[in-house]
Amino acid sequence: MVLLGPLVEFIQNILIKLGLLNSKIDGIYGTETQKSVIDFQKQNKIIADGIVGQNTWNVLIPYINGGLGFIVPTNINYSYSILQININSLKSLYPFLEIISAGKSVLGNVIPVIKIGQGKKEVFYSAAIHANEWITTPLLMKFLADFCYCYVNNLPIFGVNAKNIYDLCTIYIMPMVNPDGVNLVTGEISPNSSIYSNTKLIADNYPNVPFPNGWKANIRGVDLNLQFPAGWEQARGIKFSQGFISPSPRDFVGFNPLTEPEVLSIYNFTLRHSFSLILAYHTQGKVIYWQFQNYNPPNSLDIGKQFERVSGYSLEGTPFNSSFAGYKDWFIKYYNKPGYTIEVGTGINPLPLSQFDEIYIDNLGILVLASIIS
Ligand SMILES: [Zn+2]
């Protein structure tokens, strides 16, 4: 089994915390990493071949499942494989979680939703619809892990009893809407693969967009947050005039609305439920967007102001050029209920992981309040 970037980082992170590896996390399975894997295998009395195969994974499980004091790593590139590992851990530790498949990506990756709670009211949090905004995935996953921990230990989370939230509300979390795009940006798709070269060909038409770090789209170059039936024609007009007229690393609206399987997954999942509120996570600017055109869902402004207060982010009107065809635009238009795009952090995407702790602290209040105030 050849380990690629993020999985190597994942192993290195564990080995470093176990004191078996004394180097930086670099995602490269070099001599040092191999040597510490051999030490780990010897300690655990399994065949010491320096290869991370099934036996090695098996003895790693206690550490993966929280033995090192955490489940969700927040210091490594968080790819789709890491998400799957974390979902498996959480499900085995917290069997009351329900894991649902919302559909599949272009490359056939299942798009998971995690359901927590048994209340009548349903809310929905999604992240990483934009590939290079994947830091929002560990944000939702760490929130989920912390919420589970507080629930089973009868503790408050952000000052609210987790059991009360669990009983009053059901939270649905779609932590990675765009798994293929995230894998491209995080290095889980090998630069030697044909998928990588195909996306590179698309990116070559846009030399001003860094590759792969500037990639926001799905793996075939459609911007998934410009695909929804809420002013799609306007979005097309704006983006075409900016030069995004065919598959691109970002800002291509597609040839029609709702053509991409990832978009259909979140769209159909939403239609099957009755969410009283949604949060759509993005990165850029510590801003909360709450409007679509002149829709004014009941309580939407008040809730937005409370989010502003607990996060320190600013509640703003959406800039005209990005005010059409997004998921939250469609949600507001179709349901006339509160929907928010939350833009975490500042700087160039993908945001550095050094911002993670601050992002988590800023958003914990929103994630808790959203379940109880809507
Ligand atoms: Zn975004």
Domain spans in the chain, listed from the N-terminal domain onward? 5-67, 80-180+260-372
pLDDT one-digit tens code per residue, 108-159: 999 999 999 999 999 999 999 999 999 999 999 999 999 999 999 999 999 9
Cross-strand bridge partners of residue 316: 289
Residue range 293-310, pLDDT digits in tens: 999 899 999 999 999 999
Active-site entry in 9, 233, 343, 358:
343
Ligand 1 midpoint to CA 355 (Å): 17
The alpha carbon of 351 is separated from its chain's Cα centroid by a whole number of angstroms, namely 13
What local confidence, expressed as pLDDT, does residue 252 receive?
Answer: 98
Q: How far is the CA of 341 from the centre of ligand 1 (A)?
A: 9
* Integer-rounded Cα radius of gyration of the chain: 21
Q: How confident is the model at residue 2 (pLDDT cuts 50, 70, 90)?
A: low
Question: Is the Cβ–Cβ distance between 229 and 258 less than 8 Å?
Answer: yes
pLDDT at site 3: 75
DSSP 138-187: HHHHHHHHHHHHHHHTT-EETTEEHHHHHHHEEEEEE--S-HHHHHHHHT
pLDDT at 4 (0 to 100): 73
DSSP state of 64: I
Q: What is the pLDDT of residue 321?
A: 77
For residues 246-258, average pLDDT: 98
The angle formed by the CA atoms of residues 326, 142 and 218, to the nearest 5 degrees, is 35
Distance between Cα 67 and ligand 1 center (Å): 34
How far is the centre of ligand 1, averaged over its atoms, from the C-alpha of 23 (Å)? 33
**Rounded to the nearest whole angstrom, what is the distance from the C-alpha of residue 185 to the centroid of ligand 1?**
14
Q: What is the mean pLDDT of residues 250-268?
A: 98
Average pLDDT score over residue span 229-241:
97
- In the reported structure, the alpha carbon of residue 282 is separated from the centroid of ligand 1 by a whole-number distance in angstroms of 4
- Going 362 to 367 to 373 to 374, the CA torsion angle's sign is positive
CATH topology of domain 5-67: Muramoyl-pentapeptide Carboxypeptidase; domain 1 (1.10.101)
Answer yes or no: is pLDDT of 1 > 70. no
**Residue 343 is among the residues annotated as catalytic for this protein:** yes
Query: What is the model's pTM?
Result: 0.97
Count other C-beta atoms under 10 Å from residue 296's C-beta: 13
Is residue 205 predicted with pLDDT exceeding 90? yes
Distance 225 CA to ligand 1 centre (A): 7
Contacts of 68 (CB under 8 A, 6+ apart): 14, 17, 18
pLDDT for position 344? 98
Quote the ligand 1 centre to 281 CA distance (angstroms): 7
Return residues with CB closer than 5 A to ligand 1 (ion).
Answer: 130, 133, 282
Residue 374 has pLDDT above 80, yes or no: no
* Domain 80-180+260-372 coded CATH 3.20.20.70: no
- Which comes out higher in pLDDT, residue 2 or 278? 278
d(CA 208, CA 91): 42
Per DSSP, 318 falls in state P
pLDDT: which is higher, 3 or 148: 148
Name the average pLDDT for the chain: 96
Q: What's residue 320's pLDDT? A: 80
Ligand 1 centroid – CA 130 distance (Å):
5
**pLDDT 10s digits, 44-98:** 999 999 999 999 999 999 999 999 999 999 999 999 999 999 999 999 999 999 9
Model confidence pLDDT, tens digit, residues 71-84? 999 999 999 999 99
Render 235-301 in DSSP notation, one character per residue.
HHHHHHHTT--SS-SS----SSTT-SHHHHHHHHHHHTS-EEEEEEEEESSSEEE---TT---TTHH
For range 16-25, the mean pLDDT = 96
